Structure 1
């Protein structure tokens, strides 16, 4: 009995069928059967199914003797299904890489629910990918599994069959089958969700929903769109047969009316001469299924009026009036914004005509998040070596407290902000400045970057729509043309930057100034930071810092940190550091041994305070390696991350330390001591030789002397790796509690 039965009905899809079926067969999770149903297709679809079945025993070909339609073809597939769970995939859509593994993991995590709802994204022939607009309903926060009454917002998600996994025993017990006709998903999905005793969600795009230019069934002109009335009759008949579901009638009624109005108002669905008839039938359905007290949202009131009164002409007139009203309302706000923006740009243009101030430097980091990263380290060294140069920091008001008192605070979008951008000779940032910045002669722009690239960057994202999202590559290159200097921490970064950000700038392979702290800090500094963070004395502090997932809408940790701490015992503490793009902490628990440090202003201080790093694909590993402390890579979703974002090398082949591919492996690595064994040390040494050649503690000085003081010769030479003495890890054997002293000598030296 396989875990999954994936059912793919096929009819006149020969151009897409092979890709669809291969997206299932190439999944990393292989415990499946693929039931491909040839719905008596007149094209080569049947042959494609048979050809693939001859090469892969997991395919069960089913050939129907007559065309029965999508719903009944799915029923035919279910007759042959033997898996624990049923999944349906339309034959022009595809599963995303790693989708089945993610579904299997979530099913296990939530106790094998009746239904698991996962996410999807629309893919267009233009290459654009757009995630489901209601994906927020699929959050994995809160109790799971649950019933629909606890999460009614799930009904806002597109009511289709293929964004769910169904426990086969539940489907067979309830006797669910697909009816004939168009909109066959409607009388399946509503009853299934209402009848399910346990539901769970997976906040991950598992299906790419192809938006075809032509040939989409629901986009064709046909009287078959009238089937929608029978389908909703079936839904209400199901509710009528189960009195306990009566509470859902108002919701279903509103959804029904919205659906009818959508079909009516979408151009090209209803044949000429049938629109009046469709409205009359819709009105009859409205009266038949109307529920007293069913509230209608103000924004949909007009559409409901269209169905209730079958008043097409009145609807068009009122819609036009509303559109005009909305435009006028937005016009007033727009005028105020435009006026203010115009005045600020006029002010900026005036400032551009005034002389550049040679003794003025403006800094910014992470889109106005305050004093930090490479710009922060350069600013500190500038105050030391060139105090005659005045500095200012661009930061949002919430981050003004991070700016040193010696620097002026500039709020983005103010007159003072535009004055500084126009007049300062030096502009320093680890991301790009406002695209409206006019780089003038005499100004020097330093792009410090903010990490060594493992994931694809710049122009390499052109074929990665999930990661690039709405990136304007033309605007990106216009910003690159403003750069005078780009910082690099190693030869790998230099080669990547020059290819993905092609420009006339000069690359300064000086190391990252933010990492200077690792060579300058003392054990007293480390002890002070640990005390300030509340790390229990004598414990091993692990910094857990995962990166951003482009293929997920909401970010969550795949590690149960509380379970990990329970398994490791009282000698370990975990510091959790969420990526700045996350909208929630990595763990809800907060105790003496599980400390959320996401809001801490300095990630470098957190590195100093920790004894080891757990990360996945974050560039933090390249910086942390300068401390010569253990690093553990948690790569449980490498295939999905690689497919969505792309990487410059296989981290698993040359990691900075031990690699864990599951939570159990991760716990075992720390429980057995392999996190700091001889194999881990060997891997880290090779990694440091490749990526840490320039970070010797004097990077900021080299930048300041070269760029700000004009000293092109006689810059500090790079200290060889063998001669560097980064501050040691705090929790050595001497600092552990008495019962753990001597533990190091007992630990295995190498991970199997």
Structure 2
């Protein structure tokens, strides 16, 4: 029987669940056979991939016990289902978006042993935000003062003032079952359960140690969803104050302090306007009827709020707190005036156009900061023209890039009058980056964020810890931007989890696949031949597409390879197609090598998908192109000379060079000589490399099957429920490799005169 059973309910938490469970499974000194801990992960009929994540971890670790509920019943019922499956001496509850601090279980076990296995062990926690701001719980002084003492709630009533949560106490399972404790489906049930666990306990102990890191989410949780359901907290306190087990006046005073702090948090941030008057009326009665003689709030802010709410009158409550609100309003008006003076003429025009009706047949597209028609937005645009022809698509383009647009493309130039007009009125906004200017996404508009890669390197809010990358970023604007999204497209589950965590907001993740990768499955032999002929590639030559990534710690483009030496060592029969990252302009070095015939510089080629179709293999370092290229099931070689520097500066989500299936896509080389050897000795296309590529493809191309664009158009533009089913991986047939083609593309027929 394990020492601990950790129950983790999960619903719409796919971006946080895996780190949560791994924070438990990774506790130092634990027995992987399950002798120390079992993790009961409960999928509360989650509409995202929580269930799949649980099953994935359960398959890899016998300590994970998966529980899948048929209907979503809420956190309380999911906890109850997990507790019913528990076999450990002690129950611990952990929310799916929180983390267990390192060393927690060892510290809990030591304190439990020292105090003779009490009914309840209270421990400390800390709160942290998306900004990584850390706030202490406020319970530390009491926990430290209790030391190793074993007591009851009557002995130390102040234990009832500790934060009332399920996840800051270890409960002896016999204590739980003998008293029939359960959370049920009532909101704020943990307030009542946390208190009654203590009042019913014969032996309580404390541990002055932060064991849980409580993540304060920006959206998607009970506390961040405003509404009348928060009035339930008043029901719980009415029940508790009527409970005869509450120990004396000191116990009531401790509970009152707990209640005042929690009611203030609810009253300030969690109510909708229609619920606020009823909340103040009922809260005022509770605060007045149960106020202990001589009670004082621990800080002026709380004292002011309790006085205001204690009136029981919503009018007097608002008047009492109005001074602060008025001051905030003055500040907001001052900022608005300042922004108004700085706003351009077109911004004022944009505000006027926001008053016009939204046109649900108008779609505004943009890609790569307005560089033109490309990437996922381009594939969606083309599919919409095919199956939703009633929609009119308009592209945003920079002035310098408009001449490169396909003929007949309706477009607007950034910051032009029409740009602001279409931005204000378009029913759909589709982008793989963000729109220029201060954009107000209207409720009637639907914003589709397509992204433009699978994250190997750190992204979003994770860059706050990476000064080489994040020092010039506005993370506030990043979050404001994510708040505008309605849909976030992903090609695989890895991307879904990372994006949900690093762009925390209330959008819906759409596991559609990347529309730009459809072409890898819809192209045939003639498409491959034409792509090669357009680049002047002769039959029989092995075309290697070399695509290095951007390095944030380098100001200018620096070639990571000596291409002249590599071309010489490869010898005849190989052609190097070199594509520099789009962040860099034209490279004189590449131009010189191109003119000399050493390489073919394809940096300015308008379509990277065609380059992939034309090539026999991809050589890259850490570019996300490798994830897209894997769809073709052609060799990928990683050149990783500066992996350590890149990993330290940018941060990565997995070890690309580990050699483990699902992490390394093929052969690995560290310099020009070893890279040439990889091709000369056949390692690039060996069975071992193919096996690594197959595992990589299974993990990162799971949603890419040639139907991604159609999934997006049908789900988002046409409003169809559900998504088109995925083709099984064995039934996906990518475009043929050039090596299998022995004849040139047919010559297009010339119309008769």
User: Given the superposition, is the C-alpha separation of residues 461 and 497 from structure 1 closer, same or farther in structure 2, using an over 3 Å criterion?
Assistant: same
User: Given the superposition, is the C-alpha separation of residues 530 and 592 from structure 1 closer, same or farther in structure 2, using an over 3 Å criterion?
Assistant: farther
| Conserved 8 A contact 1:464-1:645 | yes
Give the C-alpha shift of residue 342 in structure 1: 2.6
> What residue is the counterpart of 2:642 in the other structure?
637
Distance 1:733 1:709 in 2: 39
> What residue is the counterpart of 2:12 in the other structure?
none
Matches within 5 A, 1:162-201: none
Give the C-alpha shift of residue 638 in structure 1: 0.6
> What residue is the counterpart of 2:447 in the other structure?
445
1:689 to 681, 698, 721: 698
> What residue is the counterpart of 1:332 in the other structure?
none
Distance 1:630 1:574 in 2: 15
User: Given the superposition, is the C-alpha separation of residues 353 and 649 from structure 1 closer, same or farther in structure 2, using an over 3 Å criterion?
Assistant: same
| Conserved 8 A contact 2:513-2:708 | yes
| Conserved 8 A contact 2:528-2:736 | no
Distance 2:638 2:494 in 1: 20
> What residue is the counterpart of 1:503 in the other structure?
505
Matches within 5 A, 1:467-616: 467-585=469-587, 587=590, 588-590=592-594, 591-592=596-597, 594-616=599-621
| Conserved 8 A contact 1:509-1:694 | yes
1:411 to 401, 410, 413: 413
Distance 1:406 1:583 in 2: 27
Does the residue aligned with 1:462 lie in a helix, a strand or coil?
A: helix
1:620 aligns with 2:628: no
The C-alpha deviation readout for 1:388-429, integer Å capped at 9, x for no partner, is: 111100011332244344541110011000001100010000
Distance 1:733 1:675 in 2: 20
User: Given the superposition, is the C-alpha separation of residues 514 and 438 from structure 1 closer, same or farther in structure 2, using an over 3 Å criterion?
Assistant: same
Distance 1:698 1:612 in 2: 24
The aligned length equals 400
Distance 2:531 2:689 in 1: 26
Give the C-alpha shift of residue 345 in structure 1: 1.5
User: Given the superposition, is the C-alpha separation of residues 687 and 500 from structure 1 closer, same or farther in structure 2, using an over 3 Å criterion?
Assistant: same
1:719 to 712, 727, 740: 727
Distance 1:420 1:698 in 2: 29
Distance 2:482 2:437 in 1: 11
Distance 1:469 1:517 in 2: 37
| Conserved 8 A contact 1:542-1:610 | yes
The C-alpha deviation readout for 1:261-315, integer Å capped at 9, x for no partner, is: xxxxxxxxxxxxxxxxxxxxxxxxxxxxxxxxxxxxxxxxxxxxxxxxxxxxxxx
> What residue is the counterpart of 2:322 in the other structure?
none
User: Given the superposition, is the C-alpha separation of residues 524 and 733 from structure 1 closer, same or farther in structure 2, using an over 3 Å criterion?
Assistant: closer
Give the C-alpha shift of residue 534 in structure 1: 1.4
2:395 to 375, 393, 396: 393
Does the residue aligned with 2:411 lie in a helix, a strand or coil?
A: strand
1:655 aligns with 2:664: yes
Distance 1:553 1:410 in 2: 31
| Conserved 8 A contact 2:464-2:471 | no
User: Given the superposition, is the C-alpha separation of residues 562 and 704 from structure 1 closer, same or farther in structure 2, using an over 3 Å criterion?
Assistant: same
1:730 aligns with 2:735: no
Give the C-alpha shift of residue 732 in structure 1: 3.9
> What residue is the counterpart of 2:378 in the other structure?
376
Q: C-alpha root-mean-square deviation of aligned residues, in Å?
A: 2.0
The C-alpha deviation readout for 1:479-513, integer Å capped at 9, x for no partner, is: 11100000000000000000000000000011000
Distance 1:358 1:687 in 2: 40
Give the C-alpha shift of residue 629 in structure 1: 0.1
Distance 1:364 1:475 in 2: 19
Does the residue aligned with 1:507 lie in a helix, a strand or coil?
A: strand
User: Given the superposition, is the C-alpha separation of residues 733 and 389 from structure 1 closer, same or farther in structure 2, using an over 3 Å criterion?
Assistant: closer
1:680 aligns with 2:689: yes
Distance 2:712 2:741 in 1: 39
| Conserved 8 A contact 2:525-2:741 | no
Distance 2:367 2:411 in 1: 13
The C-alpha deviation readout for 1:120-158, integer Å capped at 9, x for no partner, is: xxxxxxx9xxxxxxxxxxxxxxxxxxxxxxxxxxxxxxx
> What residue is the counterpart of 1:137 in the other structure?
none
1:708 aligns with 2:708: no
Does the residue aligned with 2:692 lie in a helix, a strand or coil?
A: helix
Distance 1:659 1:407 in 2: 42
Matches within 5 A, 1:730-749: 730-732=738-740
Give the C-alpha shift of residue 374 in structure 1: 0.2
Does the residue aligned with 2:738 lie in a helix, a strand or coil?
A: coil
Distance 2:717 2:740 in 1: 41
Give the C-alpha shift of residue 730 in structure 1: 0.5
Matches within 5 A, 1:4-403: 342-403=344-405
> What residue is the counterpart of 1:6 in the other structure?
none
Give the C-alpha shift of residue 671 in structure 1: 1.3
Does the residue aligned with 2:365 lie in a helix, a strand or coil?
A: strand
Distance 2:340 2:545 in 1: 46
Distance 1:575 1:513 in 2: 24
User: Given the superposition, is the C-alpha separation of residues 598 and 364 from structure 1 closer, same or farther in structure 2, using an over 3 Å criterion?
Assistant: same
The C-alpha deviation readout for 1:298-335, integer Å capped at 9, x for no partner, is: xxxxxxxxxxxxxxxxxxxxxxxxxxxxxxxxxxxxxx
The C-alpha deviation readout for 1:671-713, integer Å capped at 9, x for no partner, is: 1111101111011001011111110000000000000000014
| Conserved 8 A contact 2:414-2:436 | no
| Conserved 8 A contact 2:482-2:505 | yes
Distance 1:735 1:565 in 2: 26
Please say which of residues 438-447 and 620-629 is displaced more in the overlay.
Answer: 438-447
| Conserved 8 A contact 1:435-1:475 | no
| Conserved 8 A contact 2:544-2:576 | yes
Give the C-alpha shift of residue 536 in structure 1: 2.8
Does the residue aligned with 1:432 lie in a helix, a strand or coil?
A: coil
